[in-house]
Structure 1
């Protein structure tokens, strides 16, 4: 981290007491200047500083409004209300009639021409269209497909550990964490083996700069790199979809294009948008959770000992606590479709809110000692997959199965596997992305 970003955390002032009468928004001027969730520099601060900032924001009487772009002669002001309490994120997530996903849940919002060209991702859609697509996808996950996927997860985890033992890689992220979700999703979708290396490169390019502030010179030097990668992925899946319509197999692409719900299956563009979402979101989030998990269990040997002493009893709790503590997706956005009161504030139609899962998962009113890593935490209502409602993560069960299968395989065969340094984190406003994680282990005895 550069010297310019080593911001000293001043003592946080005591939050003001709520005033009687109608709820009011808390002005950002009441905060120390370094607490600015709209500033890229905030997301480059050490995790401890950001956690302290979230704690201060949770204690305020109402959500704070942050300005991302001031008003100008030819443009309107753009900003968001930061929802950082567990209860507020939960309430907004479950009220999809008021808190809408369109026109986009990420920042910047997808341009209209991008949506027309590539199709709308399900995360950016609202009902009834979202519900229709989700039903098509949901019906495609038949019990037979799910059973085959679960078997493939276990077999893929075993093959990855075999390769780790044979090749002794130094970086856990590309060798282990990225491989499991990618290979499982490709097998589930029916992607041929010979095309997977190319697709993995496209995923990395499509997601590399999501939520990362880049200098102008980089944006000029690498114009639309992510969009070009997205186009290549969607072209490939469109060709596969066309082939599966003519010659269906037992993979997910065949099920999606051949689904008979409301008179149709997924169109080629809808299939491409879903494929991109599944690959980028499914691979990125699980990859990051797996990497954070290894480091957390390495940095907390007492928790690791608990897990290894009784893995079948502790594995579910360990996965939940890793997801809570790491929170792979930091935030999503919503746009209000109507005036609404939430968390001590009167919000207006057209306002944008930030659902800050990273802050909600450290809410001290829900999680005692929220900064502690405790795999025995019970209950653990973590929001790593969202706060419920129609946009609860479709891949939540798959991600949990992958994490449990890989940790079970790793710790049973390489019980001393551990990270040797802190993970290298990308300074993203969107996801808790791990670029690399050095690790080591003692190979099992042979003979």
Structure 2
């Protein structure tokens, strides 16, 4: 393989050229990018990438890429040194955006993050999760009924997107009348943010749909005011009556959490579902194994789908104090990228890492963030959604299966599926 970009900061003898700071790298086919990550994992220390003038739509700040499983895991679990503030995405959230919309929990550290996460996690009570699981099972059955009756040609806007959206809205107690409107706002928030193959190169990056996010914030503020007056048996009601250090959650805090829950929860889960359907279709022996004893193999299948697809490609961290990791000493103020898409293909941890194997054990993938204080709060919910939907998809007649290759949205942030053609009538053997 030849990757026609310079490797900043050094290169291994005979290694192909790689530049993770160049948007052109993220327009390469995904298999080529994965091979480039394998090259970087063989280097003695993490490499510094410096965006070139005129191409740095993703970030103008140099960054080191952590690509080995051990390094990404260690940095994820050491938030004191590798801080999420001022932001984990590129570009970092602007100060005015935080002032207007509130700061997302994913960009917080220390006591501020711990307090907000504690309040939210306590509201995911056993009763709430039990009710959610029952609701998810019913939703999955209804959505597959609609697929069979309506037979759309694209899996993405149907079950893949609708299930996580409906689940989150049910949890939050969002009235059904608002949900199509919210779905449109989510689409607007991520519109026109893929890599353009003509004209100016532009990567898919979060946070461009400011107007759409603002409208969702206004809706959340109105619903929060209603729940303070008339609380219900839902997550939103629980959150508006919660206290942090004696003060009620502000409208901006609620809005920031709601936006994170919708954009992150819907996007990551819909993409994992789509990749999972495609992987099972292209690996019929694994599909047959899962169908033969669903309850036995589904946990392993979900983990392997998340590892293999890695819905979030990378997050950024800011170094707070001098620290040695992976053969390099990092200095305060330096930026590092935790490249989960590389860590989840590390041959030092995963035997035959490019193979899709639902029996892989152990499977210590970093698809939910690598552990530590920022481990994904919605991981359990995502697992329930994937389990329920694949149970329905594998048990129905006619059987639903992927038909064509997914259209992936070029991105340095998430492994997003733009569309996935599918058909009916296939049989699992």
Superposed pair shares fold, TM > 0.5: yes
2:248 aligned counterpart, secondary structure: coil
Whole-angstrom distance in 1 between the partners of 2:38 and 2:414: 19
Whole-angstrom distance in 1 between the partners of 2:353 and 2:326: 20
- With over 3 angstroms needed to count, the CA separation of the structure-2 counterparts of 1:313 and 1:358, relative to structure 1, is same
- With over 3 angstroms needed to count, the CA separation of the structure-2 counterparts of 1:211 and 1:33, relative to structure 1, is farther
Name which of 150, 156, 174 aligns with 1:191: 174
Aligned to 2:366: 383
Q: Following superposition of structure 1 onto structure 2, how do residues 233-248 of structure 1 map, counting pairs within 5 Å?
A: 233-248=216-231
Deviation at 1:207? 2.5
Name which of 381, 388, 393 aligns with 1:405: 388
Deviation at 1:146? 1.4
Question: Is the 2:306–2:367 contact (alpha carbons within 8 Å) kept by the matching residues of 1?
Answer: yes
- With over 3 angstroms needed to count, the CA separation of the structure-2 counterparts of 1:161 and 1:374, relative to structure 1, is same
2:368 aligned counterpart, secondary structure: coil
Deviation at 1:88? 0.2
Q: Deviations over 1:32-66 (max 9, x none)?
A: 67411111111111111111101110011000100
The count of residues paired between Structure 1 and Structure 2 equals 419
Whole-angstrom distance in 2 between the partners of 1:331 and 1:383: 11
Q: Following superposition of structure 1 onto structure 2, how do residues 18-97 of structure 1 map, counting pairs within 5 Å?
A: 26-27=9-10, 34-69=17-52, 78-97=61-80
Q: Is there any run of 5+ residues in structure 1 with no aligned partner, and where?
A: 1-7, 16-24
- With over 3 angstroms needed to count, the CA separation of the structure-2 counterparts of 1:81 and 1:218, relative to structure 1, is closer
Question: Is the 1:70–1:78 contact (alpha carbons within 8 Å) kept by the matching residues of 2?
Answer: no
Whole-angstrom distance in 2 between the partners of 1:205 and 1:31: 44
Question: Is the 1:28–1:65 contact (alpha carbons within 8 Å) kept by the matching residues of 2?
Answer: no
Give the TM-score normalised by the residue count of structure 1: 0.89
1:162 aligned counterpart, secondary structure: helix
Aligned Cα RMSD in Å? Answer: 2.6
Q: Following superposition of structure 1 onto structure 2, how do residues 292-307 of structure 1 map, counting pairs within 5 Å?
A: 292-307=275-290
Question: Is the 1:211–1:431 contact (alpha carbons within 8 Å) kept by the matching residues of 2?
Answer: no
Whole-angstrom distance in 2 between the partners of 1:39 and 1:421: 30
- With over 3 angstroms needed to count, the CA separation of the structure-2 counterparts of 1:411 and 1:263, relative to structure 1, is same
2:32 aligned counterpart, secondary structure: helix
Aligned to 1:251: 234
Deviation at 1:346? 1.1
- With over 3 angstroms needed to count, the CA separation of the structure-2 counterparts of 1:31 and 1:119, relative to structure 1, is farther
Question: Is the 1:321–1:377 contact (alpha carbons within 8 Å) kept by the matching residues of 2?
Answer: yes
Name which of 2, 9, 29 aligns with 1:9: 2
Whole-angstrom distance in 2 between the partners of 1:232 and 1:250: 25
Name which of 125, 128, 153 aligns with 1:170: 153
1:199 aligned counterpart, secondary structure: helix
Q: Deviations over 1:335-369 (max 9, x none)?
A: 00001100001111100000000000000000000
Q: Is there any run of 5+ residues in structure 2 with no aligned partner, and where?
A: none
- With over 3 angstroms needed to count, the CA separation of the structure-2 counterparts of 1:102 and 1:421, relative to structure 1, is same
Deviation at 1:264? 3.1
Q: Deviations over 1:129-184 (max 9, x none)?
A: 11111011011112221111111111110110110111011101111100100000
Whole-angstrom distance in 1 between the partners of 2:137 and 2:81: 41
Question: Is the 2:139–2:163 contact (alpha carbons within 8 Å) kept by the matching residues of 1?
Answer: yes
Whole-angstrom distance in 1 between the partners of 2:282 and 2:25: 25
Aligned to 1:3: none
Whole-angstrom distance in 1 between the partners of 2:390 and 2:272: 11
- With over 3 angstroms needed to count, the CA separation of the structure-2 counterparts of 1:139 and 1:265, relative to structure 1, is farther
2:337 aligned counterpart, secondary structure: strand
2:263 pairs with 1:280:
yes
2:143 pairs with 1:160:
yes
Q: Deviations over 1:290-331 (max 9, x none)?
A: 000000000111111111111111111111100000000000
Deviation at 1:260? 3.6
- With over 3 angstroms needed to count, the CA separation of the structure-2 counterparts of 1:77 and 1:174, relative to structure 1, is closer
Name which of 344, 350, 353 aligns with 1:361: 344
1:427 aligned counterpart, secondary structure: coil
Deviation at 1:379? 0.4
Aligned to 2:252: 269
Whole-angstrom distance in 2 between the partners of 1:105 and 1:31: 33
Question: Is the 1:26–1:62 contact (alpha carbons within 8 Å) kept by the matching residues of 2?
Answer: no
